[in-house]
Chains A and B, each alone.
Chain A
Amino acid sequence: MRRFILQRIGQAALVLLVMSFVIYSLIGLMPGDPLDVMIASNPGATPEVVARLRAIYGLDQPLMYRYGHWLLAAVQGDLGFSRTHSQPVLEVLAPALWVTCKLMLASFVISVSLSLILGISAALRPGGIVDGIINLGAFAGISVPVFWLALMMILVFAVKLHLLPASGIANIDDGGFVDHLRHLIMPVATLALANTGGFTRFVRASMIETLRMDHIRTARAKGNAEGRVVLVHALRNAMIPVVTVMALSFGTLFSGALLTETMFAQPGMGKMIYDSILSNDFNLALSGLLFATLVTLLSNLAADLAYGWLDPRMSR
C-alpha cells in the first residue's frame, strides 16, 4: 500500500512537470508578448531599446532556457508579478482560491446528496415511473449548457422576479452574512445542478448492479427489511465506484466553476484565469492554470486512496 501511494505521488509530480511545460509553451503562443504594454506606454521606444528590453527579460532566449528559469524561480516560490493586478501572483491567487473553494465545496456537497437520493430512488425500480422521471432529469442535467443555465437563472430570479442578486459576492452597502449567502445561492445552484445529472446516472447504474449481486439476494432472503438491505448492504458496495468517479470529476467541476464564476461575476480562480488570458496577463494565467492542475491531481490522488480504503481487495 505504501509503495502504491508513493508511486502515485511520483506520477502526479511527473504529470505536473509535463503540464507546466505544455502550458508554458502554450501561453507563449498567445497573442502579444509580456513587453507590449510597456512598449505601448512608451511610444518613443526605438527598436534598439525594445531589443535591449527583450534581452533584459530574457525573451530572446530559446524556449527551454526560459522555461528552465521560470521553473527554478517557481520552485523557490517566486511565481512572478501579475501585470493587470500589479501584485505578486501569489497574492492574487490566494483570495481567488478561497472564493472558488466555497463555491465548489457547497455545490459538490449538494450535488452528491441530491444524486444519492435520486440515484437510489431510481435504482429501486428500474424502468418504473420514478426511474423514468429521474432519468429524464439526469439527461437534462448532463445536456444543458452551464452558461445558459446560469443565464436563464439570472433571467428568471434576478431580472423577472427580482429575488436574487445577479452578480458579485456582496453588496457594497451591506456585506453581512445573509447578503453573502444570497449572492452564493445562484452560482452554487447552477454548478450543483450541472453536476447532479452525471452523478445521479452513475449512482443509479452502480446501485442497480449491486442490487443484482448474490450477497444482496442473500441479505433479502434472510429476512432483512428492504430499507436495511438497500442502505446498509448495497450502498457500501455501490459507493466504491461512485466515490472514485466523484473524486475524478474535480476537473469537470472546476471547468463548471470557471463558467459560473464568469457568469455571476464571482472573483474566483476560474474567472481569474479567464480574465488573465483575455488580458494577456501571462504570469497569472500560467500560475492559475498550474494551480488548477495541481489541485486536480491532488483530488485524483485522494480518489485513489479512497478507493484503496473502501475496497478491501486493494489494501493488501
Chain B
Amino acid sequence: MSATMMKTEAAIGVWRLRWRRFRKHRTGMISLVILAALILFVLAAYPMQWLLGIDPNAADLFSRFDPPSPGHYLGMDEAGRDVLVRLMIGGQISLLVGILATLIGGMVGVAIGISAGYFGGKVDNALMRFTDGMIALPLLPLLIVLGAIDLTKLGFSQDFARSGAAGFWRIVVIISIVDWTAIARLVRAATLQIRERDYVRAARAAGASAWYMMATHILPNIATPIIVSFTLTVGRVILSESVLSFLGFGIVPPTPSWGNMLNNAQELVTTAPALAVYPGLLIFITVIAVNFLGDGLQHAFDPRSER
C-alpha cells in the first residue's frame, strides 16, 4: 500500500509561519520592542531602590518638588518622594492589574462564550441577552459604585478592608466583573464555527461529555482569537485601572499606580506640570503599544487579512 508522507509547507509549523507574518507588521513589531522595554523599566525599580537606597513611600517634606538631581533623576513629588522609582513601581502595579483582571475577566468571558456557543438554543439566548445588556451599560459609573463599596459590609474585617492588598484585589475583581463581554462574544462566535466540525461530531458519537468536548476540541481550536482579544483587553483594563485610581476608587496611596499618581496632579498642574505628564504618558504609551500588538497578532493569525 502506498502511504507516502506528504511534506507540505505547512509542516514547518503554524507558529513559525505566524511569526513570519507578524514580523512584517511594522507597528506590531515596534510595539513588541516598546513593551519589552517597558517591562525592563518597571522591573528596574528593584535595583534602583537597592542601589540608591530609596524608599518609594517615605515622605520627606523638606524635599517637596525638588528638581531632578543625581540619585533622583526625575526629581521629587508633592510629598518629597522619588518620582522615577514611584513611576516604576506604579507601572508594576498597573501592568499587574491589567494582566490579572484580563485573565480573570477573560476566564469569565471564555466560560460564558463557550457555553453559549456550544449549548446554543435557550442557554445561548439567555447568556447573550445578558452580555448585550452588559455591553450597553454606562460602565464607568457602575465601576465607581463597585469601587465605593464598603468591604466591611460584605463581611470582611476592618484590617483587611483598609489594607493595600484589599485595594489591589478589589480593583482586579471589579474590572473583571465588568470587562468580559468582548471576549465572551468573540468566543461564542468562534465556538459556533468549531461546534459543527466533524471531529467534534465524532467525539459526540463516541459519547463524550460537553466538558470533554469544550476542553479537548473547542478550546485549543479557538486559542488564536482568544489570544488576540485578551491582548486588546489588557489595554482597556489598564485604562480602566488608571481612571478608577485617578478618581480615588482604585489603588489606594501610598501604593503608587500610574492612575493614582495623577490623583493630585490636577491641582498641581500649574506648579509641577511634569508630575502630570509622566504617568499619563506612560499609560498612553503602554496602552497604544498593547493595542498595536493585538492588531499585529490579529494580522499574523488570520491568513486572509491583508494588512
Contacts and interface: CB of A to CB of B under 8 A. Distances in A.
* A adjacent to B, CB under 8 Å: yes
Interface centre among B269, B279, B290, B295 (most CB of A within 10 A): B269
Given A259-B243, A277-B144, A151 B262 contact: yes
Nearest to A18: B133
A300 B137 CA distance: 10
Interface stretch (B63-71, B145-153, B209-217): B145-153
Contacts of A29: 149-150, 153-154
A273 interface: yes
Interface stretch (A75-83, A85-93, A222-230, A250-258): A250-258
Contacts of A277: 144-145, 148
Interface in A146-193: 146-148, 151-152, 154-155, 159
A254 B146 CA distance: 17
A273 B143 CA distance: 12
A21 interface: no
Contact of A26 (B136, B146, B295): B146
Interface string B99-143: 000000000000000000000000000000100010111111110
A94 to B, nearest CB: 18
B88 to A, nearest CB: 19
Contact of B307 (A126, A146, A254, A278): A126
Given A30-B150, A147-B246, A296 B287 contact: no
Nearest to B133: A15
A300 B291 contact: no
A20 interface: no
Given A126-B307, A155-B269, A143 B243 contact: no
A152 B77 CA distance: 18
B292 interface: yes
Given A145-B239, A159-B270, A139 B149 contact: no
A159 B243 contact: no
Contacts of A252: 138-139
Interface residues of A, number: 52
B145 A145 contact: no
B292 A254 contact: no
Nearest to A31: B150
B40 interface: no
A32 B152 CA distance: 11
B118 to A, nearest CB: 24
Contact of B262 (A19, A148, A251, A296): A148
Given A145-B239, A251-B136, A154 B269 contact: yes
B138 A148 contact: no
A296 B149 contact: no
A232 B203 CA distance: 51
A250 B148 CA distance: 24
Given A26-B146, A29-B150, A151 B135 contact: no
B227 interface: no
Given A30-B149, A159-B273, A274-B247, A259 B140 contact: yes
A139 B262 CA distance: 22
B145 A155 contact: no
B277 interface: yes
Interface residues on B, range: 35 or more
B288 A151 contact: no
A27 B145 contact: yes
A285 B144 CA distance: 11
A144 B284 contact: yes
B91 interface: no
Interface string A3-41: 000000001000100110001001111111000000000
Most interface-central of A139, A254, A300 (chain B CB within 10 A) = A139
B288 A300 contact: no
A187 to B, nearest CB: 14
A139 B141 contact: no
A148 B266 contact: no
A289 interface: yes
Given A26-B145, A31-B148, A259-B243, A251 B139 contact: yes
A155 B273 contact: yes
B262 A292 contact: no
Contact of A254 (B27, B138, B239): B138
Interface of A: 11, 15, 18-19, 23, 26-32, 126-127, 136, 139-140, 142-148, 151-152, 154-155, 159, 248, 250-252, 254-255, 258-259, 262-263, 270, 273-274, 277-278, 285, 288-289, 292-293, 296-297, 300
Interface of B: 27, 129, 133, 135-142, 144-146, 148-150, 153-154, 235, 239, 242-243, 246-248, 259, 262, 265-266, 269-270, 273, 276-277, 279-280, 283-284, 287-288, 290-292, 295, 306-307
Top 8 nearest A-B pairs by Cβ distance? A148-B280, A255-B140, A143-B288, A143-B287, A31-B150, A254-B138, A251-B138, A29-B149
Given A146-B243, A258-B140, 16 more contacts: A26-B149, A31-B150, A139-B292, A140-B288, A144-B284, A144-B288, A152-B277, A154-B269, A159-B273, A250-B136, A254-B138, A254-B141, A258-B138, A273-B144, A274-B144, A274-B247
